[in-house]
Structure 1
């Protein structure tokens, strides 16, 4: 995975996790749950992209 793409996944993943904590402190549990699912999907997609790029190099 290129450094730029890895940085993108790291920054967006961190922002999504920060959004979860914000919505928990703001008293909006449904938004926190929604962003938890979105962040899990986004972080998982980062692993999928990394595995596909690694497999295509072989």
Structure 2
């Protein structure tokens, strides 16, 4: 994963975690659940994308006939 993409995922993931903290402090349970699910999904998507890009990079390119 290149650096700008990794930075984007880190910033958005952190923003979602801050949103969870803000929702907890405001006492909004629905927002806590929504932000928690979004955060887990987004972070999981980042790990999945990273693994997919790593597999693609490590796969040797086969010569075309």
> Given the two structures, how large is their TM-score scaled by the length of structure 1?
0.97
| Higher-Rg member (1/2) | 2
- After the TM superposition, list the runs of 4 or more consecutive aligned residues in structure 1 that deviate by more than 6 angstroms: none
Specify the alignment match of 1:33 in structure 2. Answer: 33
Higher relative contact order (CA 8 A, sep 6+): 1
> Given the two structures, how large is their TM-score scaled by the length of structure 2?
0.87
Task: Tell me, yes or no, if structure 1 residue 56 matches structure 2 residue 45.
Answer: no
When the two chains are superposed, the root-mean-square deviation of aligned CA atoms in Å is 0.4
Specify the alignment match of 2:61 in structure 1. Answer: none
Specify the alignment match of 2:63 in structure 1. Answer: none
Provide, for residues 11-34 of structure 1, a one-character-per-residue CA deviation record: whole Å limited to 9, x for no partner: 000000000000000010111111
Aligned residue for 1:43, secondary structure, equals: helix
Q: What is the number of equivalent residue pairs in this alignment?
A: 58
Structure 2 residue runs without a partner (length 5+): 59-65
Instruction: Return the structure number with greater helix share.
Output: 1
Structure 1 residue runs without a partner (length 5+): none
